[in-house]
């Protein structure tokens, strides 16, 4: 039976309405039960299907209105089965990986009584000092938009009423990733043009994909804290985009408006936030106390706005089918991962690794003596940030996995150092053991506790102890292949050219060791690409592929050393001295967006466009770009072809290129395939300012590349006839 929401709202008291606009930030069991009896609208997941059913039972059977509760949880990259982190998923350049994570996550979560996940995070960022880059998809709005839509589709499935669907939550609205200096929770100041082009776009894509909810960002944007950001929360999200779902505040984000200094007290904070467009307050502030007294009164807070918020919350519950079916079958609930889901997680993980460099050490030989060293030789810390205490465990170490994967190899295992500590003795032992090995695999990286929320780092190199291990082994003449476990792009300058190969494996989840071992052996061929630029130095940040043109682009760099200063200031090169560069760095990042190698090689040929000149109307019908990719090596592998567009002359400065398409293709040795893309007018439009999105006739360059080679073609957009 369909509930008449307007009739229900008409029956509700002021206090009952306010209670629907509340989720308490992780209450204890007694507090949760008291709030449920009071009629609260949402609660965090009590960690079992049985307790979730009991929460619903209290809400439905022991309150006057019997309104079921939303049951929320941070299922970011897995409930029980943990998938690679979202940044790792983006590295796959395969949105099916993200959708698979979301499908399995939703199935495990909903079966256990979760109806709402606070995921996906779609904050774009260009600053790897920010720990939360691990939770997002990357530096590029287009890639983030594609992955946002894939996650929403995976979480919400074919219908929110389904037993394997949960309501998605796009977060954190908006420009949380633009926090100054990459310091978490820090203020952001962004032009309206960049806000539209970069930070809002993935949210728009997620709303277009049908996301049920949106979470406000902790941060202030251009002087307005987002929890009181009416112009964006209501003006853009709800009015302009027509979002009819629910906006939830972040944990205590409403109360923190007091810290932001824009309201005098929590009462003012609640009023400001709900008036701005927050529908559910997440935090300790309880809008109706245990005596049933409302925290704010109808003459302080518009009842029309409150009714709109209540309607949004009730509509979501209706869409989830909670009025008809508030309970789950606890006997059929997931209580942990399964072998099938673990296998899916491993398959996903194998698509996320990025071969950054390879002098031939990888894939590993299947015999001989190999030393595995470093803290990740034996550490099980592969789940990454934002996993719940009930997540499945990593069952084996990398040492176990490589021994199983390459049984004929004579493996020797030594830590050599911890994540943050090394002694001369521990380093010396590793060096002496390396002397007997044909090859050394050094497994190093960021433990997950320095990745994620509140984990910004001012120095994004490997911890010093681990760098000492790499240098000690290289000093001793060992041939070294590095397995790099990380939640973010790292600065690797001091050791990267000393080692033979580097495989970046991010934090790959429940089956990480098996996925890494199969990649090291060559059974899996790495096909991922860098989704977020690796800077050469922290001082280079922000550095990203789609940087805008300048009036003084540099062609060469690194003039710090005396012998190169002359090169810059001598008569033959003064024109390059006064250009946009760093005196003490080579030009460009260490690894560019889209970079990635394979155990095989590929060639791009025959790049073509369906036409080289057309009008906007013709472009609206679509322009086809096509290139042939050939596997020119001796083993199967995946290539990722990226399509970029450059607007050569426009009314406002343009990025040197913008991603407008990507495709990952698997090819057998010698096999070729045509990879096609469709471009339309929207792909050439840009925001001229915060209000005008324009399409301007003129010359464009269309580029296809796979991180190793590129091909370019000119395209002319003509004035309408």
Contact positions vs ligand GLC (CB under 6 A): 74, 118, 171, 250-251, 453
Report H helices in 282-334.
303-319
Pairwise CA distance, residues 661 & 142, whole Å = 8
What is the spatial distance between Cα 274 and Cα 668, in angstroms, rounded to a whole number?
56
Instruction: Report the nearest approach of ligand GLC to the CB of residue 611 (Å).
Output: 46
> Is the CB of 129 or the CB of 172 nearer to ligand GLC?
172
User: Could you tell me how far CA 525 lies from the centroid of its own chain?
Assistant: 23
Residue among 316 and 472 whose Cβ is closer to ligand GLC: 316
Please, which residue, 453 or 511, has the CB nearer to ligand GLC?
453
Shortest reach from residue 228's CB to ligand GLC, in Å: 17
How far is the C-alpha of 37 from the C-alpha of 48, rounded, in Å?
Answer: 19
In contact, 447 and 379? CB cutoff 8 Å: yes
Cβ 25 to ligand GLC shortest distance, Å: 7
What is residue 406's DSSP assignment?
Answer: S
The answer to whether the CB of 597 falls within 8 A of the CB of 358 is yes
| Local structure of 672: helix, strand or coil | strand
Q: Give least dist CB 80 to ligand GLC, A.
A: 18
Token pair 């339309």: residue: 680
Max CA pair span of the chain: 86
CB of 38 to ligand GLC, least distance (A): 21
Helix/strand/coil for 224: strand
Rounded Cα–Cα distance for residues 136 and 603 (Å): 31
Q: Give one word for 206, left, alpha or beta, with left for phi > 0 and alpha for psi -120 to 50.
A: alpha
C-beta of 74 vs 350, nearer to ligand GLC: 74
User: Which tokens is 623 given?
Assistant: 């322009």
Q: Do residues 88 and 136 lie in contact, with contact meaning Cβ atoms separated by under 8 Å?
A: no
Cα–Cα distance measured from residue 192 to residue 189, given in angstroms and rounded to the nearest whole number: 10
Question: What letter would DSSP give residue 622?
Answer: -
Q: Give residue for tokens 């996650």.
A: 151
- Show Cβ contacts of residue 433 under 8 Å, excluding neighbours closer than 6 positions: 371, 373, 412, 414
Q: What minimum distance in Å lies between the beta carbon of 250 and ligand GLC?
A: 5
- For residues 373 and 397, give the distance between their C-alpha atoms in angstroms, rounded to a whole number: 12
Helices (H), 607-655: 616-620
521, 373, 350: which is closest to 441 by C-alpha? 373
**SS3 state of residue 366:** coil
CB 171 to ligand GLC: min, Å: 6
Give the strand order in the sheet containing 116-117.
116-117, 70-73, 42-44, 22-23, 281-282
Find the residue with minimal CB distance to ligand GLC: 118
Residues 230 and 275 sit within 8 Å (Cβ to Cβ): yes
C-alpha R_g of the chain: 27
For 325, what's the count of Cα atoms within 13 Å in the CB-facing half-sphere?
13
Q: Which of 183, 270, 264, 195 is nearest to 219 (CA)?
A: 183
If the CB atoms of residues 173 and 591 are measured against ligand GLC, the closer one turns out to be 173
Shortest distance, position 60 Cβ to ligand GLC, whole Å: 25
Output the smallest distance, CB 453 to ligand GLC, in A.
Answer: 6
Give the Cα separation of 399 and 370 in Å (integer): 11
Q: How many CB atoms lie within 10 A of CB 282?
A: 26
What is d(CA 450, CA 385) in angstroms, rounded to the nearest whole number?
9
Is 75 or 333 the residue whose CB approaches ligand GLC more closely?
Answer: 75
Other Cβ atoms within 10 Å of 29 Cβ, number: 11
- How far, in Å, are 12, 305, 388 from residue 16 at the CA level? 6, 15, 31
Closer to ligand GLC by CB, 453 or 706: give it. Answer: 453
Closest contact distance (angstroms) between CB of 220 and ligand GLC is 15
Query: Do residues 111 and 164 touch, judged by C-beta distance below 8 A?
Result: yes
Length of the chain, in residues: 721
What's the closest the beta carbon of residue 127 comes to ligand GLC, in angstroms?
A: 17
| Catalytic residue ranges | 250
Q: What is the nearest approach in angstroms of ligand GLC to the Cβ of residue 235?
A: 23
Q: Give the C-alpha separation, 107 to 79, whole Å.
A: 9
250 versus 279: smaller Cβ distance to ligand GLC: 250
Query: Cβ distance 518 to 402 under 8 Å?
Result: no
Give 70 or 402: the residue with its C-beta nearer to ligand GLC: 70
Residues β-bridged to residue 717: 614, 698
């Amino acid at each position: 039976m369909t509930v008449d929401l307007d009739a229900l709202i008409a029956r509700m008291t002021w206090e009952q309405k306010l209670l629907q606009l509340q989720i308490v930030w992780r209450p204890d069991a007694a507090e949760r039960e008291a709030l449920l009896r009071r009629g609260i609208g949402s609660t965090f997941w009590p960690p079992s299907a049985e307790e979730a059913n009991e929460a619903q039972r209290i809400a439905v059977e022991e309150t006057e209105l019997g309104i079921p509760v939303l049951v929320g949880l941070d299922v970011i990259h897995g409930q029980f089965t943990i998938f690679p982190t979202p940044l790792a998923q983006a590295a796959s350049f395969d949105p099916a990986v993200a959708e698979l994570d979301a499908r399995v996550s939703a199935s495990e979560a909903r079966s256990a009584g979760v109806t709402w996940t606070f995921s996906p995070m779609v904050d774009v960022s260009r600053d790897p000092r920010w720990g939360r880059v691990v939770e997002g998809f990357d530096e590029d709005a287009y890639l983030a938009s594609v992955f946002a839509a894939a996650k929403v589709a995976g979480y919400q499935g074919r219908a929110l009423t389904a037993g394997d669907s949960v309501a998605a939550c796009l977060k954190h609205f908006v420009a949380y990733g633009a926090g100054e200096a990459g310091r978490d929770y820090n203020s952001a100041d962004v032009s309206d043009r960049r806000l539209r082009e970069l930070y809002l776009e993935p949210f728009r894509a997620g709303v277009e994909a049908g996301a049920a909810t949106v979470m406000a960002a902790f941060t202030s944007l251009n002087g307005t804290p987002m929890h009181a950001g009416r112009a964006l929360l209501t003006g853009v999200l709800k009015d302009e985009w027509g979002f009819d779902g629910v906006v939830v505040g972040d944990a205590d984000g409403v109360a923190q408006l007091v810290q932001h200094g824009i309201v005098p007290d929590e009462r003012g904070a609640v009023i400001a936030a709900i008036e701005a467009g927050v529908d559910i307050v997440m935090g300790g502030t309880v809008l109706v106390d245990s005596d049933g007294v409302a925290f704010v009164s109808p003459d302080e807070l518009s009842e029309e706005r409150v009714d709109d918020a209540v309607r949004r919350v009730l509509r979501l519950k209706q869409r989830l089918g909670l009025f008809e079916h508030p309970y789950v079958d606890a006997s059929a609930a997931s209580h942990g991962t399964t072998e099938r889901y673990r296998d899916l997680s491993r398959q996903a993980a194998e698509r996320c690794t990025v071969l950054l460099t390879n002098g031939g050490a990888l894939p590993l030989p299947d015999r001989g003596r190999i030393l595995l060293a470093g803290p990740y030789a034996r550490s099980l810390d592969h789940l990454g940030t934002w996993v719940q205490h009930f997540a499945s465990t990593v069952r084996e170490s990398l040492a176990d996995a490589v021994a199983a994967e390459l049984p004929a190899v004579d493996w020797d295992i030594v830590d050599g150092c911890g994540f943050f500590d090394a002694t001369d003795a521990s380093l010396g032992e590793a060096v002496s053991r390396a002397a007997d090995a044909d090859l050394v695999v050094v497994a190093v990286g960021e433990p997950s506790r320095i990745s994620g929320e509140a984990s910004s780092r001012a120095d994004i190199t490997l911890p010093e102890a681990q760098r000492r291990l790499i240098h000690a082994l290289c000093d001793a003449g060992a041939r070294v292949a590095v397995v790099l476990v990380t939640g973010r792009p790292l600065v690797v300058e001091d050791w990267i050219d000393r080692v033979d190969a580097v495989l970046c494996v991010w934090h790959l989840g429940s089956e990480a060791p098996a996925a890494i071992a199969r990649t090291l052996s060559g059974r899996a061929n790495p096909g991922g690409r860098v989704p977020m630029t690796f800077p050469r130095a922290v001082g280079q940040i922000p550095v990203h592929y789609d940087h805008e043109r300048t009036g003084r682009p540099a062609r060469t760099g690194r003039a710090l050393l005396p012998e190169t200063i002359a090169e810059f200031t001598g008569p033959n090169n003064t024109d390059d001295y006064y250009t946009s560069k760093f005196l003490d760095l080579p030009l460009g990042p260490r690894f560019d967006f889209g970079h990635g190698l394979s155990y095989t090689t590929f060639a791009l040929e025959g790049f073509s466009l369906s036409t080289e000149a057309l009008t906007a109307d013709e472009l609206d019908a679509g322009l086809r770009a096509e290139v042939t990719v050939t596997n020119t090596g001796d083993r199967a592998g995946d290539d990722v072809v990226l399509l970029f567009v450059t607007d050569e002359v426009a009314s406002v400065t343009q990025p040197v290129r913008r991603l407008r398409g990507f495709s990952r293709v698997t090819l057998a040795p010698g096999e070729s395939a045509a990879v096609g893309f469709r471009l339309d007018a929207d792909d050439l439009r840009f925001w001229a300012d915060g209000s005008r999105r324009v399409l301007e006739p003129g010359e464009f360059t269309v580029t296809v590349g796979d991180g190793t080679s590129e091909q370019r073609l000119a395209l002319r957009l003509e004035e309408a006839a």
